[in-house]
Structure 1
Amino acid sequence: MPELPEMETYRIMLSERIAGKLITGAAVTRDKTINMEPDAFISDVVGRTVWFVERRGKHLLLHLDDGRRLVIHLMLGGSLYYGDEEDRPDRTVQVELSFGSHKLFGIGLRLGYVHLLSAKEAVERFKELGPEPLDPRLTAASFRKLFQGKRGVLKSALVDQQTIAGIGNCYSDEICFTASIRPNTRIPSLRDEEWERLFRATQSVLRDATAAGGYMESPTFLGDTLTGGYNERCRVYDRGGQPCLQCGTAIEQSEVASKKMFYCPSCQPEQ
């Protein structure tokens, strides 16, 4: 599932391509992907201009010139592609938005969605989301406070979007590895220096992953060489049984709260 770095990569790339452009056409092939009747959706978005593209957690928001937002959540298996009919994706497209000769294709949105919301509805939709982990106002102290009172394991809290927005399975494990903390460590047992390491690791991993285009390797447009660049740089995620890049110990894979967990038993000793 796309996480903060993947969605931020989409935001940057789509901002360069569709911000300020008129939506000249639209098509919907799966009614459940949108939040209104297809004819009404198409009528409402065609003729609108995309003012700018925003990201909130794992969501993209296309701000339209009438004040409404197209809210995109890709969920599991979803992706976006910007191109023309000649390089149309060879996958099922649920929603497409035309910008002249080019289109933004919403692909594999079996669980994902593209919802047209008013500004008020968008605020309501996101009111339960936790803060952005890269918000410059977030300090080590305020980061730690987000987890105050939680007694479960660290990974479950990191992927809880109401605690902090944008982190999922991949980056929770990468963050924990960078901080030398096992993902299934119980939150009350974390010491002061571990909270400091965890905050710094969250910042560095998410920034590095975004700069490298995230870990999902589906290109955003023809000739895209950035998207997916972080995949080969993952230290533990999806590397079960492979040697740790830091110490050579085999990466272990297990489960915590029904989620896959990858860690190095040597670099991340059990507490």
Structure 2
Amino acid sequence: MQELPELDIYRSLLAEKFAGAQISGIEVSSSKIFQASNEQMQRDIIGKVLWFVERRGLHLLLHLDNGKRLLLHLGQGAYLYIGNQTDLPSRSAQLKLVFGEVILYGVGLRANDLQLLSVKEVEEKLGKFGPDALDKRLTLERFVARFAKKRGAIKAALMDQTVISGIGAAYSDEICYSAAIRPDAKIPMFEQESWERLYAAMHKVIKEAIANGGGGEHSISAIEHAAGNRPASFQVYDREGQPCNNCGAAIEKIDVSARKAYVCSSCQKDL
């Protein structure tokens, strides 16, 4: 799944490419992906101008000049590609959002991954999520308070979008590694120094990932490789059996709260 760094890169590139552009067409492969009638698409999307692009946690919001929002979610294996009628993504696209000769393709989309919403509907849908991991208002004190009712493993809590939004399977492992904390460490055992390391690691890992082009598997276009830099991105995630870049020990894959996690047992301790 695309996480905060990849989605923030998408946000920046889409804004650069399409902000102020008029939508001249839209094609969706299935009504399950986008439950809007042809009449709605003609009335509320086609001919409208994309004002700006916003990221809210693990969602992208395309703000249209009629006050409507296109809410886009990219789940496991989904990605965006900017091309045209002949420059196509490597897999079949479920969404084609046309801006003149340029097309934004959505690949790997599933049911309800694209929604047309009012401002009120957006807030009703996204209001349940926690503050963004990069929200400047999320101080260390507020960060720690978000975990106050959690008792399980730190990886599971980091991935809980109602606690902090934007972190998924990959970056939860990377944050724990950077903080030298095991992903299966139990939250009630955390001391202040552990929280300080985790908070600093969260900002460091996410900001570096954005600066380095993200860790996705697919580039956003034939000439722009941002969001598709996975081979060089991760220290532990998806590197089972490979040597730790810090100590040389083999990276292990473990189960944490019914999820896979990757850890260097030499560098990462319980706290």
> Normalized against structure 2, the TM-score is what?
0.96
| Contact persistence 1:94–1:107 (CA under 8 A) | yes
Equivalent residues, number? 271
CA distance in 2, matches of 1:132, 1:125: 15
- Secondary structure in 1 aligned to 2:104? strand
Quote the residue 1:47 is aligned against: 47
- Superposition deviation, residue 112 in structure 1: 6.1
The one-letter code matched in structure 2 to 1:130 is G
- Secondary structure in 1 aligned to 2:122? helix
- Compared CA separation, residues 53 and 172, structure 1 to 2 (3 A): same
Quote the residue 2:212 is aligned against: 212
- Superposition deviation, residue 110 in structure 1: 2.8
CA distance in 1, matches of 2:29, 2:195: 47
| Contact persistence 1:76–1:112 (CA under 8 A) | no
Runs of 4+ aligned structure 1 residues displaced above 6 Å come to: none
CA distance in 2, matches of 1:30, 1:204: 39
Could you tell me the percent identity over the aligned residues? Answer: 45
Quote the residue 1:173 is aligned against: 173
- Superposition deviation, residue 261 in structure 1: 0.4
The one-letter code matched in structure 1 to 2:209 is A
Output aligned runs, 1:93-132, within 5 Å: 93-111=93-111, 113-132=113-132
- Compared CA separation, residues 42 and 221, structure 1 to 2 (3 A): farther
- Superposition deviation, residue 89 in structure 1: 1.8
Quote the residue 1:87 is aligned against: 87
Q: Tell me, which stretches of 5 or more residues in structure 2 are unaligned?
A: none
1:202-254: per-residue Cα shift (whole Å, max 9, x none)? 00000001111211131112201332235413110001111111001111101
1:101-135: per-residue Cα shift (whole Å, max 9, x none)? 01111111135611100011001110101001111
- Superposition deviation, residue 39 in structure 1: 4.4
- Secondary structure in 2 aligned to 1:128? coil
Quote the residue 2:259 is aligned against: 259
CA distance in 2, matches of 1:158, 1:61: 23
- Superposition deviation, residue 259 in structure 1: 1.1
The one-letter code matched in structure 2 to 1:85 is Q
Quote the residue 1:201 is aligned against: 201
- Superposition deviation, residue 69 in structure 1: 0.3
CA distance in 2, matches of 1:222, 1:57: 27
- Compared CA separation, residues 90 and 179, structure 1 to 2 (3 A): closer
| Contact persistence 1:214–1:231 (CA under 8 A) | no
1:173-199: per-residue Cα shift (whole Å, max 9, x none)? 000000000000000001110100000
Output aligned runs, 1:1-271, within 5 Å: 1-111=1-111, 113-229=113-229, 231-270=231-270
> Normalized against structure 1, the TM-score is what?
0.96
CA distance in 1, matches of 2:198, 2:230: 20
- Secondary structure in 1 aligned to 2:116? strand
| Contact persistence 2:70–2:117 (CA under 8 A) | yes
CA distance in 2, matches of 1:38, 1:264: 52
- Superposition deviation, residue 37 in structure 1: 2.4
| Contact persistence 1:243–1:250 (CA under 8 A) | yes
- Secondary structure in 2 aligned to 1:86? coil
Q: Tell me, which stretches of 5 or more residues in structure 1 are unaligned?
A: none
| Contact persistence 2:32–2:111 (CA under 8 A) | no
Return 249-258 or 222-231, whichever deviates more: 222-231
The one-letter code matched in structure 2 to 1:202 is M
- Secondary structure in 2 aligned to 1:123? helix
